[in-house]
Amino acid sequence: MADHETMSDLHKEMTSWRRHLHQNPEFGFEEVQTAAFVAEKLRSFGIEEVAEGVGGTGVVATLRAGEGNRAISFRADMDALRIEEAGESSYRSQTPGVMHACGHDGHTTMLLGAAKTLAETRDFNGVVHLIFQPAEEWGKGMIAMLDDGLLDRFPHEEAYGLHNWPGLPVGHFETRTGGFMGAEDNFEIRVQGVGGHASRPHEINDAIVAGSAIVMNLQTIVSRQVDPSQLAVVSVTEFLSDGTRNAIAGGVRILGDCRSFDPAVSKRIEEVMRRVALGVGAAHGCSIEVDYSREFVPVVNHAALTGHAVQAAQMVAAPGNVNSEAAKIGGSEDFARLLAHVPGNFIMMGNGDSAALHNPSYDFNDDVLPLGVEYFATLARQRLPVDQK
């Protein structure tokens, strides 16, 4: 760990980086300036192996020390959200309609800080890949990096990620073994009936009535078709028709979102949803089309490696500030795609009493920057000890 004076200087430097990134947010797969900034910083630390354009706008740096061949990876996300910032800080977003409302500017900064620290000390024995991922919010960035040969070009045996968490006190960490964050599935149900004049309902097949019946019957999926011990959520979020005030709709689109932690539950939700939609549609004389997609898979933490992540967090946090049995989180995270191929851990770090994630008033807490650096650096030294052969 760097001494107090060095970490204090790095903290000031990281704060300037983070606020620069906050002022210049870029949406998923548009992180051209962000990626260039990251690559420039990495090279300025003396890191020679810096690959750009991985998965579009991703960056991967490789640090080597000693003679060890074991490799691990740390990942940070770089993209922002299409949200208009409400804050009035001196470093407010300069891009209209786009802001870092999830703290990816802080995640990128902490991994840059860890890169600088580890590049200076080289007090580990092996290989550390530093993955700066695009388009996490889309749930497409990690897939793009994997499709671009991430695992073949930068092979590693363990993967670790970190996310800030509003409401969790500064200096605290939370994680759990097994399913930690949920899968996100999206669906669209298209109902096609026969529209017509509002005064002649007997001549039409009302898509709104059929669609409404489908929405109501979807509520029985969780309550009657999924094991009560399993977490599942089915939410209709949009109901759109082609009708007007004096015309009964002939077509309806029903869109929504499903959450679960078990692929078997996701499969069950889709099966029952199709059966319900087709059955209700037939009862109302309407044709039905169902599109069901899996945008995010669940974050599943490896048991042994979660133990190592907890140990590293305990080494940098005050006693009692690391919860290894955190509650499951219904939200989703694209890091899950990497964990589906490489065992590892995803951990939450307190952002203090801040606005919620994806809120226009959210801001990353710069006070936690050194803690993230120390966590990653400690994990590198722990998993790649200098005395290993």
Give the span between the Cα atoms of 276 and 224, in whole angstroms. 12
Give me the residue label for tokens 């996300």: 77
pLDDT of residue 4 exceeding 60, the answer is: no
Q: How many other C-beta atoms can be found within 10 angstroms of the C-beta atom of residue 316?
A: 22
Of the candidates 37, 18, 100, the one whose C-alpha atom is nearest the C-alpha of residue 359 is 100
The region, left, alpha or beta by phi > 0 then psi within -120 to 50, assigned to residue 149 is left
How many helices and strands (H and E) does the chain possess?
10, 16
Helix (H) or strand (E) holding 60, with range, is strand 58-65
Catalytic residues: 79, 136
Give 2's pLDDT tier (boundaries 50, 70, 90).
Answer: very low
Residue 1: the pLDDT is 43
* Average pLDDT estimate for 129-133: 99
Token output for 255: 């869109």
Residue 30: the pLDDT is 98
Of the candidates 177, 161, 119, the one whose C-alpha atom is nearest the C-alpha of residue 333 is 161
Measured between alpha carbons, how far is residue 383 from residues 134, 370, 388 in Å? 26, 20, 10
Report pLDDT digits (tens) over 111-129. 999 999 999 999 999 999 9
Q: Three-class SS of residue 189?
A: strand
Residue 387: the pLDDT is 85
Mind listing the domains of the chain with CATH numbers? Answer: 4-180+298-383 (3.40.630.10), 183-296 (3.30.70.360)
- Crossing angle, helix 32-44 and helix 104-121, to 10 degrees? 20
Give the span between the Cα atoms of 89 and 237, in whole angstroms. 33
Report pLDDT digits (tens) over 23-68. 999 999 999 999 999 999 999 999 999 999 999 999 999 999 999 9
Strand 58-65 versus strand 126-133 pairing type: antiparallel
Q: Three-class SS of residue 296?
A: strand
Q: How many other C-beta atoms can be found within 10 angstroms of the C-beta atom of residue 141?
A: 26
Which amino acid is located at 172 in the chain? H
Give the span between the Cα atoms of 217 and 235, in whole angstroms. 12
Give 5's pLDDT tier (boundaries 50, 70, 90).
Answer: low
Report pLDDT digits (tens) over 158-194. 999 999 999 999 999 999 999 999 999 999 999 999 9
H helix intervals, the chain: 4-23, 32-44, 104-121, 141-147, 150-153, 207-220, 263-283, 303-316, 336-339, 369-383
Strand 322-323 versus strand 173-174 pairing type: parallel
Report pLDDT digits (tens) over 234-286. 999 999 999 899 999 999 999 999 999 999 999 999 999 999 999 999 999 99
Give the span between the Cα atoms of 358 and 254, in whole angstroms. 24
